[in-house]
Amino acid sequence: MSVQRNTVLLSVLLLVSITSGSAFVEELDDTFMETKEPDEIWLIQFYAPWCSFCKQLDPVWHKIGSELRSLGSPIRVGKSDATANTALAKEFKVRNYPAILMLKNNVKYNYPGSRTKDGILDFADRVSGPLVRSLSSTRLFQHAINRHDVIVVYVGATSELKGNLTAAAEELIVHTYFFSASREVLPKELTLTSLPAVLLFKDGTHFIYDKEQDGELKSWIKRERFPNVFLIDSYTLYAMGESGKLVLLALLEESHLCEESLRYKHLLEKVATEHKETYNRKFYFGFMEGSGYIDGLIMGEAVVPSFIVVNLSNDGYFLPPGPIETERHLLHFLDGVLDGRVEGQGGNDFTQRVRRFVYETRMTLTPVFREAPVLGYFLIGFPLTVGCIFCYLCIKNRPTSADDYEDAPLLAPSLQRKKKLAEKKCD
């Protein structure tokens, strides 16, 4: 009896939790843009009923709505069935599911990160606040440094450089935080030769923007906005394509790293830290758990553990020409990538796109054939059969040359006259 009572109580608590979480997420339809208030800030998820990723995200989304409400956040959380509310989905240019974005002052900000509660909440906090936040004390500066992996700080009075930073923040606020501060707020040991200045803090150190050396400010921030060494997921790796840098990856097991994986990990950290000045402008360094994403890139099965350099700007990659046993071997590999001694593979030309399409089709259909052969043969055979029948009917119904002369007197009168003359001569 006690067990039944506990089961019923647990079911009731679970139902209450789901119901209360749902109360903080509003279902939006095609009238949303007409009925919302101009100053409202919305965090919206577009989903499709058949999308498995959307179903996985749904409980996370309700937790996000509940947490933002409990914090007293002005952000309102909504979701919309993009297959039913097509006008709203078109307004927001939704092309895949689940699509996550924020609407603030009628400006749409797309969320580019992994579908985790912490990642989405951090995005919501970043975008909902000011583009450039003020750091008024050393304590606030230290808090920002401790809380965020990467921050961009403007130091100085109002200037053209600050205007450029604000313009960059309008686009890049979805990725990182922007602050402004006076010189007194920064650590005393930090040396600035002139003001105004823009600094980027990451990996326990800082970088000072130099227009002559670094080029356009926004491009520099795009290149430097990732930590130098960190755990990389597929979303982040894809986003790195716009940085213009290459990425040295150590592919490791998803859990319980073996001794060889630990050696690869330590070797990558050592090179990234001790040779930062040499390779920082050309490379990012990171670890990736598993090889699923890289398998699709190389159209094969990557070895784990192993090293690979990827160029996400053109879907290219570089593999070590030999075993990587020592630091010297890894440095030789990186130098070979930069000076062209290591041949690049992959790419996004027409041939590679066709090969990738064939590979992805094969990888999609292989599990189907394995688990349901009849369905697999139907998926392949039915379109081919329809195509063959269509081609056969087209060929069969194609008119002959004689039929053309008889059926098209207005289009080819000279040909018909020649045909009649030939018939008279034969008679």
Span 193-204, mean pLDDT?
92
Q: Give the SS3 label for residue 171.
A: helix
**Cβ atoms of 177 and 151 closer than 8 Å:** yes
Rounded-to-integer distance, Cα 257 and Cα 255, Å: 6
Class of domain 18-127: alpha beta
Structure tokens given for 208:
């000072």
Q: What number is the average pLDDT over the span 249-261?
A: 89
Q: Which pTM was predicted? A: 0.69
Q: Which residue has the higher pLDDT, 53 or 332?
A: 332
What's the confidence (pLDDT) of residue 418? 53
pLDDT for the residue numbered 217: 95
Active-site residue identified among 51, 388, 391, 394: 51
pLDDT one-digit tens code per residue, 304-348:
999 999 998 888 999 999 999 999 999 999 999 999 999 999 888
pLDDT over 60 at 401, yes or no: no
Q: Which residue did the predictor score with more confidence, 84 or 3? A: 84
Looking at this protein, which amino acid is placed at residue 186? Answer: L
Nearest to 68 by CA among 108, 21, 30: 21
Q: What is the mean pLDDT of residues 409-413?
A: 48
Q: What are the distances in angstroms from CA 379 to CA 35, 83, 368? A: 44, 24, 9
User: What's the pLDDT tens digit per position in 2-50?
Assistant: 445 554 444 444 444 444 445 789 999 999 999 999 899 999 999 999 9
CATH code of the region 229-351? 3.40.30.10
pLDDT interval class at 235 (50, 70, 90): confident
Q: Is 105 helix (H, G, I), strand (E, B) or coil?
A: coil
CATH code matching the domain that covers 130-224, chosen among 3.40.30.10, 2.40.50.140, 3.40.50.360, 3.30.70.60:
3.40.30.10
- Whether 54 is catalytic is yes
pLDDT of residue 417: 56
Beta strand spans in 170-319 (E): 177-181, 197-202, 205-208, 229-231, 246-252, 283-289, 306-311, 316-318
Fill in the amino acid letter for 398: R
- Long-range Cβ contact pairs of 200-207 (< 8 A, separation 24 or more): 200/150, 200/151, 200/152, 200/153, 200/224, 200/225, 201/145, 201/150, 201/151, 201/152, 201/153, 202/149, 202/150, 202/151, 202/226, 202/227, 202/228, 203/227, 203/228, 203/229
Span(s) in the chain for CATH 3.40.30.10? 18-127, 130-224, 229-351
The arithmetic mean of pLDDT across residues 199-218, rounded, is: 92
Active site residue 51: yes
Give the Cα separation of 149 and 356 in Å (integer).
35
Residue 208 pLDDT class (50, 70, 90 cuts):
very high
315 contacts 308 by C-beta, under 8 angstroms: no
Q: State the DSSP H helix or E strand holding residue 108, giving kind and residue range, or none if neither.
A: strand 107-110
Tokens (6 digits) for 185: 């707020």
- Pick the closest to residue 318 from 336, 291, 292, 304 (CA basis): 336
Q: What is the spatial distance between Cα 162 and Cα 180, in angstroms, rounded to a whole number?
A: 9
- What's the DSSP call for residue 268? H
pLDDT in tens, 101-142: 999 988 999 998 888 999 999 999 999 999 999 999 999 999
Q: Which of the residues 54, 258, 394, 426 is marked catalytic?
A: 54
pLDDT attached to residue 385: 78
The average pLDDT across 371-385 equals 64
